[in-house]
Amino acid sequence: MEDREKKTSIRENDISKKVPLGAKRRSSIHLSIYAMFLAISMILGYVEAQLPTPIPIPGVKLGLANLVNILMLFSVGPFPTAVIGFLRIILLSLLFGNALTLSYSLSGFLCSFLMMLLFKNLVHFSTVSVSLIGGIFHNIGQVFMAAFLLRNTALWYYLPYLLIAGSVAGVLIGILGGILMKRLKPFFRQYF
């Protein structure tokens, strides 16, 4: 019995020696920070769903949860940003939405995220410009998916109103994201 325990503890010690202590600590810190970002984005998404829309056009939102996407994209990187955004959409749709909400949100997010990533990396736009691009392409992705699922091309006439609202929301989220980036720079520098 004692021989088994010794062999097990020897194996555990061998494994722990191969991974440096700092790497273990850093990965657990990163995981905790990602979980915090996911929780914040879900809370912002839920709060936004409870707020009345100032404009009586269905689908017009400020996009508060996209604030987390902007912060993460500029501070942490594209892969964690994509994972957190995807998980937020899945979880919020499971908790408060339906299959249509999931498909609209997911198509808007994918279109928006890919374009934000492209403009951030290739053109080196600021947070405001990248957020503006994200707001515009989020609405394009959602209208495309709605027109496809509902088999109704008349939904494309709705797009100009959504593009105006998405532009305004994107600029506001980009400005707020830029302010938060400056304030949180020491935090991100310490852990990433």
- Relative orientation angle of helices 159-191 and 127-150, to the nearest 10 degrees: 130
Q: What is the value of pTM for the model shown? A: 0.82
% of the chain surpassing 70 pLDDT: 87
Q: Dump pLDDT digits (tens) for 87-135.
A: 999 999 999 888 888 999 999 999 999 999 999 998 888 999 999 999 9
Give residue 154's pLDDT band: very low, low, confident or very high (50, 70, 90).
confident
Q: Token digits for 168? A: 């305004």
The answer to whether 41 and 88 are in contact (CB under 8 A) is yes
Q: Token digits for 23? A: 């790497």
